[in-house]
Structure 1
Amino acid sequence: MPIAKNDIQTTADIDRLIQHFYDSMLEDPIVGFFFTDIARINLAQHLPRISKFWQRQLLGLNHYQGRTFEIHQQLHQRAELNADHFHRWLFLFEQAVNSLFAGERAELAIGKSRAIAQSMLQGLQDRQMETVLKNREQQGLQFFNPKP
């Protein structure tokens, strides 16, 4: 008989979720290296910060202060984050949520993670294209802009 799962209700629940998520993510062959080899995160500092981010998203607590996009943009400049990386991140996050929780906030966490991943990927791609176009313009390259 399956064990009934509770919904995400407290900061301790979010801490547990983030710890479980990072335990699997750091070992993952597709995305783990971003954290261990590229960013070389300090888990003791990183996990509380990420927990605060999700506490804000899911519980409405306003004690997260960070530059989420800028940090990921800097990481992207060191090692490209692509759609496959974001899909894997989502898979692992959803797996962590579903293995520990069930309910409205658990579903909210999954929905927000999807929106965040999509927005982050689109933002990184847009910034990358802006940089390419700016560099070409500075080099004096012309573009053909067909009229619609």
Structure 2
Amino acid sequence: MAIHDITTIEDIKLLVNTFYDKVQKDTYIGVIFNEKIQKRWPEHLEKMYKFWQTILLEQHTYSGSPFPPHKHLPVDQSHFDRWMEIFTETVDSLFKGIVAEEAKVRAANMAYMFNYKIEYFRNLEKKL
């Protein structure tokens, strides 16, 4: 099968399913995801399809705020680094093109912002 760019919802589902399958099995970040999501993986995956479909295909199917569920996770920069490593490997193994590159840029920006905000709220709570 030739590697192509991300162009359809089927591509998004392949990306999301492959990525989160790796995440669930990962010895470093898998425990955090599995503990938080537990038996709600189907709902989480469905939400992720819509999130990435909205961002990458500009088909507005996602609504909501992605940060709040992550606010109190026991994570730091090293967890986001591992998340990005798995995400980048997954994208590169499945897709090639402008949208695939955009997916990696968007994921990196999101990882940076989530880590920054988690640290910000942690430091704020320490001061209170």
Give the TM-score, by structure 2 length: 0.94
Greater gyration radius: 1
Superposition misfits of 4+ residues, deviation over 3 angstroms: none
Match of 1:17 in 2: 15
Stretches of structure 1 lacking an aligned partner (at least 5 in a row) = 136-148
Higher mean C-alpha displacement, 33-42 vs 63-72: 33-42
Structure 2: any 5+ residue segments left out of the alignment? none
2:119 corresponds to 1:122: no
From 78, 81, 85, the equivalent of 1:91 is 85
What SS class does the counterpart of residue 68 from structure 1 fall into?
coil
Larger relative contact order, structure 1 or 2 (CA cutoff 8 Å, min sep 6):
2
Confirm or deny that 1:69 pairs with 2:63. no
1:16-55 matched pairs, under 5 angstroms: 16-55=14-53
- Residue aligning to 1:146: none
> Aligned Cα RMSD in Å?
1.2
Indicate if the aligned counterparts of 2:47 and 2:62 stay in contact, CA closer than 8 A.
Answer: yes
Paired residue type of 1:122 = Y
Name the aligned partner's letter for residue 7 of structure 1. Answer: D
Counting aligned pairs with the same residue, the percent is 30
Local SS of the residue matching 2:6: coil
What is the total number of aligned residue pairs between the two structures? 128
